[in-house]
Amino acid sequence: MTFRTALTTLICVLVAVCAQADEALMPRQPLPKDAQAPRPIDPRFEHQLVVKFHDHAKVRSAGPGRLVSLSGLDLTVLEASIAGRADFQPLIDLPAETLARLELEAAQRSGRAQPDLGGMLQVRAAKEDLADLADILHGSDLVEFVAFEALFVPPPGWFGGPDACFDIAPVTPNYFSRQGYHNGPAGLGMAAAWAHPGGRGQGIRIADVEYGYRDGHEDLCNIIPEPGQTMHPSVISFGWHEHGTAVFGEMIGGENGYGVTGLTPDAQGMFYFEWTLTGQRRVAAVTAAIAAVDAGDVVLLEMQTSGAGGGFGPAELNQSIWLVTRLGVDRGVVVVAAAGNGDQNLDSGAYATYRAWGDSGAIIVGAGSSDGSRSKLGFSTYGSRVNVHGWGQNVFTAGYGDFVSIGGDPNQSYTATFSGTSSASPFVASAAASLLGIHKAATGRAMEPSLLRQLLIDTGKPQGSGGNIGPFPDMAAAVDALLASLCRVDMDGDGQLTLFDFLAFQSAFASGSLAADFDGDGMLTVFDFLVFQNEFMAGC
């Protein structure tokens, strides 16, 4: 038997084995249903009623007051109980083929069955009917969960035109020296990451999901806004677009000799709108962001929601956000989320239901002090679910204008006091993008979200006083640990050597990707396979 024949036979056997593995996905457990239908908790906000039907039912809206099961289930009894009192609209306004692609990619990559995202619907009805409809839906065996989700909750930094890409006159000074969070004594140590290819975020996309940003600001260039969506004018009336401006200034402010410099200035910024002319669309915006990026990119949830304990907590306290977050992480996307500014203890009894859902896979970010003590700030939500923290005060960045608005121009505005879990989360999103960029430059592939999260935790500087908000990222230590752990033959980046790594190598080889050029001669030959085989057998 020739070498080519033997290799072909081995590949065929491995493909057959993995095909069988794909058919045996780990089943998905529905989120536990509360004993009774929930009620709106926080009277300060409007709420929408959301229902998620069980995956096997494949329930969809079929016009005014009508539902249909794509799997053929009889919905007559349920429809009769509602009796034309409600209309149902898809919670996620993306094409069905996009949702199917996301579910398939996440399932194939994770080995876990995924939720039927199309089965999440918004219930539209008279306000006085919503509570009764929630009870009816909650009692149906077809329903996984019913939830009242708060609308128009202010972003977690909130207490109480075309990209500029040039220094607008009059001249703006260079404020980098005011950004001690880069490399100061209490900073992240970004210089250690910038010294390596990819460390400035090259090749990584960061999609920020929130209300808005100032698209004409002089220091924010080439941000890609969500296609087909227009920011609601009330966002500007409330000043919430300054929030996104400040977030982007921290992450991707241009290294251009003026203004601020982002922690990962070479990353590609993207923006997804939570509130547009079509209405409030938080879940749809998060899903659209996850759909637009690839494995190894970052989606930042700059949002919070009203929690069971009465204060603000992470957006994933809503089941719909938890589900799409878990799907995104299973797809290989790194999701970074603000913990919220409600001083909520996520380990308390009020959040037992939330904890019962399990781990969404997101990196939850708390807010700590900027003085180097790394202590929890009083407003930050906390608990064992909060993974790491960033500065929640005194962050110098673009927007707002409380430090200066040069020439009175809001597109030349800067702040020295951006705060909250809002200011903390971009620290972690940028740290993630930097490490993902270094990993991608070194290996040609995406890093697993779970491994990245653990790396940030394991190498971070310990937290000081207060309830748990996790360590503060230490980029020098994280980069050293990352580079020491890299294994070329771990082709799928899951930290283990399995048959899937061989399949990934075979796919790269067949497609002509230089990720399979293991002998470094610029060509793909049998010698690359031999080097791969030797390293695989050696176990790195």
| pLDDT of 487 | 76
Q: Report yes or no on whether pTM surpasses 0.85.
A: no
Catalogue the E-assigned strands of 387-481.
388-391, 395-398, 404-405, 413-418
User: What average pLDDT does this structure show over 243-263?
Assistant: 97
Residue 5: pLDDT over 50: no
Any domain includes 163: no
Last residue of a domain, one of 150, 184, 200: 150
Q: Which residues pair with 52 in a beta bridge?
A: 120, 145
Residue 7: pLDDT over 60: no
Q: In this structure, are 430 and 478 located in the same domain? A: yes
Q: In this structure, are 203 and 64 located in the same domain? A: no
| pLDDT of 34 | 85
| pLDDT of 364 | 98
| pLDDT of 476 | 98
Q: What is the dihedral of CA 267, 292, 295, 423, to 10 degrees?
A: 50
Any domain includes 72: yes
Q: In this structure, are 132 and 220 located in the same domain? A: no
User: What average pLDDT does this structure show over 198-215?
Assistant: 97
Q: In this structure, are 264 and 411 located in the same domain? A: yes
Where does the pLDDT of residue 162 fall: very low under 50, low under 70, confident under 90, or very high at 90 and above? very low
Q: What is the pLDDT of residues 358-404, one digit of tens each?
A: 999 999 999 999 999 999 999 999 999 999 999 999 999 999 999 99
Backbone phi, psi, residue 438, to 5°: -65, -45
Residue 234: pLDDT over 90: yes
Most confident of the following: 28-37, 44-53, 351-360, 478-487: 351-360
| pLDDT of 443 | 84
Reference 452, options 390, 363, 327; nearest CA is 363
Any domain includes 299: yes
State the CATH number of the domain containing residue 357. Answer: 3.40.50.200
H/E element holding 530?
helix 526-538
Any domain includes 15: no
Q: What is the pLDDT of residues 97-128, one digit of tens each?
A: 999 999 999 999 999 999 999 999 999 999 88
Q: In this structure, are 249 and 183 located in the same domain? A: yes
Where does the pLDDT of residue 258 fall: very low under 50, low under 70, confident under 90, or very high at 90 and above? very high
User: What average pLDDT does this structure show over 399-423?
Assistant: 97
| pLDDT of 528 | 86
Lowest mean pLDDT among 46-55, 165-174, 346-355, 465-474: 165-174
Q: In this structure, are 246 and 145 located in the same domain? A: no
Tokens of 113: 């069955």
Domain containing residue 507:
499-538
Any domain includes 11: no
Q: In this structure, are 145 and 219 located in the same domain? A: no
Q: In this structure, are 376 and 428 located in the same domain? A: yes
Residue 498: pLDDT over 80: yes
| pLDDT of 16 | 39
Please tell me the distance from the alpha carbon of residue 155 to that of residue 239, in angstroms, as a whole number: 11
| pLDDT of 517 | 84
Q: DSSP state, 426?
A: H
Please tell me the distance from the alpha carbon of residue 430 to that of residue 204, in angstroms, as a whole number: 10
Within 219-305, residue ranges assigned H as helices are 233-238, 241-252, 282-292
Please tell me the distance from the alpha carbon of residue 101 to that of residue 292, in angstroms, as a whole number: 11
Residue 210: pLDDT over 50: yes
| Proportion of the chain above pLDDT 70, given as a percent | 94
Any domain includes 17: no
Last residue of a domain, one of 150, 165, 196: 150
Where does the pLDDT of residue 507 fall: very low under 50, low under 70, confident under 90, or very high at 90 and above? confident
Q: In this structure, are 232 and 94 located in the same domain? A: no
Any domain includes 8: no
| pLDDT of 413 | 98
Most confident of the following: 100-104, 487-491, 521-525: 100-104
Tokens of 194: 């910038």
User: What average pLDDT does this structure show over 280-291?
Assistant: 98
Q: What is the pLDDT of residues 427-477, one digit of tens each?
A: 999 999 999 999 999 888 899 999 999 999 999 999 999 999 999 999 999
| Proportion of the chain above pLDDT 90, given as a percent | 77
Where does the pLDDT of residue 494 fall: very low under 50, low under 70, confident under 90, or very high at 90 and above? confident
State the CATH number of the domain containing residue 66. Answer: 3.30.70
Q: In this structure, are 442 and 404 located in the same domain? A: yes
Tokens of 215: 């698209």
User: What average pLDDT does this structure show over 412-439?
Assistant: 98
Q: In this structure, are 529 and 463 located in the same domain? A: no
Any domain includes 155: no
Instruction: Check if the beta carbon of residue 328 is closer than 8 Å to that of residue 99.
Output: no
Please tell me the distance from the alpha carbon of residue 453 to that of residue 523, in angstroms, as a whole number: 35
Where does the pLDDT of residue 164 fall: very low under 50, low under 70, confident under 90, or very high at 90 and above? low
Residue 14: pLDDT over 50: no
| pLDDT of 540 | 67
Q: In this structure, are 205 and 139 located in the same domain? A: no
Q: For the chain, what is the domain count?
A: 3
The rounded mean pLDDT for the chain is 91
| pLDDT of 21 | 41
